[in-house]
Amino acid sequence: MKRKRLHIVRHAKSDWNHEGLSDHDRPLNERGLRDAPLAANRFYFKYGTPELWLCSSAQRAQTTAEMFKELHEGAEIITRKEIYHASLNTLMGILNSIENAPQEVVIFGHNPGLSQLATYLSGERIEMPTCCVVSLDLFVDEWSHLADNTCSVLDIDYPKKHLI
């Protein structure tokens, strides 16, 4: 049986220049709109299409997820309000409650929760910049068994890694 895999994606760079707009509703800025499709393309060619797509309800995370989804025919993004600025405990609760069927899951959200999650699961200190994808191989057969230090880092990809 194929090992389970988790991809943790921090939203692309967001725009702070919208007075009166709530944090939840901030869009991506020009750099975010440029970086997300490039990151999505790299992701697709490395990993194909995960079975389960989870995403924060925030606009910047939704837009990032939609850009990733464009290459993945049949993928459906499930919006979970509680992913928006979720703590490590909340994120672990979401992941631990996943039915056992999906082998590969991608979650789109925010820092500091996502960096804490990647660090907790891998046992390695991981800081996720915007539009970062951390891909983890799980050492457990069921999502409910996911816990600290139960994953190994397969890859960490982010836009500035590809600057010349």
Helix (H) or strand (E) holding 154: strand 151-157
Angle between helices 113-122 and 88-96 (to 10 degrees): 60
Residue 164 pLDDT: 53
Torsion of CA 152, 46, 157, 107, to 10 degrees: -70
How many angstroms separate the CA atoms of 149 and 139, rounded?
9
Mean pLDDT of 31-42: 96
Between these two residues, 152 and 161, which has the higher pLDDT value? 152
How many angstroms separate the CA atoms of 66 and 48, rounded?
15
Exposed e or buried b per residue across 145-154, where buried means at least 16 C-beta atoms within 10 angstroms of its C-beta: ebeeebbeeb
Residue 31 pLDDT: 95
Helix (H) or strand (E) holding 7: strand 5-10
Say if residues 35 and 159 touch (Cβ distance below 8 Å): yes
Residue 75 pLDDT: 84
Say if residues 83 and 55 touch (Cβ distance below 8 Å): yes
> Which pTM was predicted?
0.95
pLDDT tens profile 57-85: 999 999 999 999 998 888 899 999 999 99
Q: In this structure, what token pair is assigned to residue 154?
A: 């397969």
State the DSSP code for 50: -
pLDDT tens profile 85-143: 999 999 999 999 999 889 999 999 999 999 999 999 999 999 999 999 999 999 999 99
Place of tokens 């919208």: 18
Residue 161 pLDDT: 85
Domains in the chain, CATH or no CATH each: 5-15+23-162 (3.40.50.1240)
